[in-house]
């Protein structure tokens, strides 16, 4: 289903079990609501898919929040956009009768960064996350309680956009907040590889709490 309701242009693909997990698919810069549908099916074939399009345009390319330069984020905009996206997810849970305890963010690059921001600022929305090529989005005034949340971070050793210490710092921050964090390193750069997808899929299939959520 393709829709413009709920505040975002988005795609929704129902899963076979209305009480099962839903993957919140968050594209990278220049992507759209169609980009990660195939990835979602590869990662968790029996999940519902909820895929919004970022509302910020950078030279005509959709993003989920503004940046001032490469790796320098507009924090005021990030705060507002994170709240807006979390509200979209809450409305979608009601509209599509989703299991609100089994929402799993799957984000790439800009999408992974706003997913990390959601964990830090709107922790009640997500049960788990697959953050592909993510960096620290912001430093919250205080860390939330993320006990019971699971996060997988896939980082590239030679990523020219995200220095390795930044990915390490994000993992440390989420662990300090209580999340169960897995940080997986790829020898590659910013682009995803088949190995990235395989490792993320294995991680997801080994998280029984995602399927058991009710």
Q: Which residues are catalytic?
A: 109, 159, 190
Interstrand relation of 10-13 and 22-26 (parallel, antiparallel or unpaired): unpaired
Within the chain, residue ranges assigned H as helices are: 37-43, 75-95, 110-121, 164-176, 194-205, 208-212
Please report, for residues 37, 138, 150, 151, 169, the alpha-carbon distance to residue 162 in angstroms, rounded to integers and kept in the order given: 25, 14, 22, 18, 11
Interstrand relation of 72-73 and 67-69 (parallel, antiparallel or unpaired): antiparallel
Using alpha carbons only, what angle is made at residue 39 by residues 146 and 136, rounded to the nearest 5 degrees?
A: 35
The residues that bridge with 132 in the sheet, in sequence order, are 108, 154
- And the tokens for 195? 């190995």
Question: Nearest Cα to 6, choosing from 113, 62, 84?
Answer: 84
- And the tokens for 30? 């220049």
């Amino acid at each position: 289903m393709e829709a413009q309701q709920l505040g975002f242009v988005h795609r929704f693909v129902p899963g076979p079990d209305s009480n099962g997990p839903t993957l919140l698919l968050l594209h990278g810069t220049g992507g759209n609501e169609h980009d990660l549908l195939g990835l979602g099916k590869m990662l968790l074939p029996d999940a519902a898919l909820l895929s919004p399009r970022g509302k910020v345009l950078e030279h005509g390319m959709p993003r989920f929040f503004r940046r001032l330069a490469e790796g320098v984020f507009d924090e005021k905009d990030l705060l507002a956009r994170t709240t807006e996206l979390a509200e979209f997810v809450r409305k979608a849970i009601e509209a599509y009768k989703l299991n609100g305890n089994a929402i799993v963010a799957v984000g790439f690059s800009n999408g992974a960064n706003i997913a990390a921001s959601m964990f830090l600022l709107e922790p009640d929305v997500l049960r788990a996350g697959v953050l592909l090529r993510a960096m620290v989005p912001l430093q919250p005034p205080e860390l939330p309680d993320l006990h019971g949340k699971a996060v997988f971070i896939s980082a590239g050793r030679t990523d020219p956009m995200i220095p390795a210490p930044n990915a390490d710092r994000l993992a440390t921050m989420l662990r300090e907040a209580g999340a169960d964090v897995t940080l997986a390193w790829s020898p590659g750069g910013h682009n995803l590889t088949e190995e990235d997808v395989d490792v993320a899929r294995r991680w997801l299939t080994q998280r029984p709490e995602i399927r058991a959520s009710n």
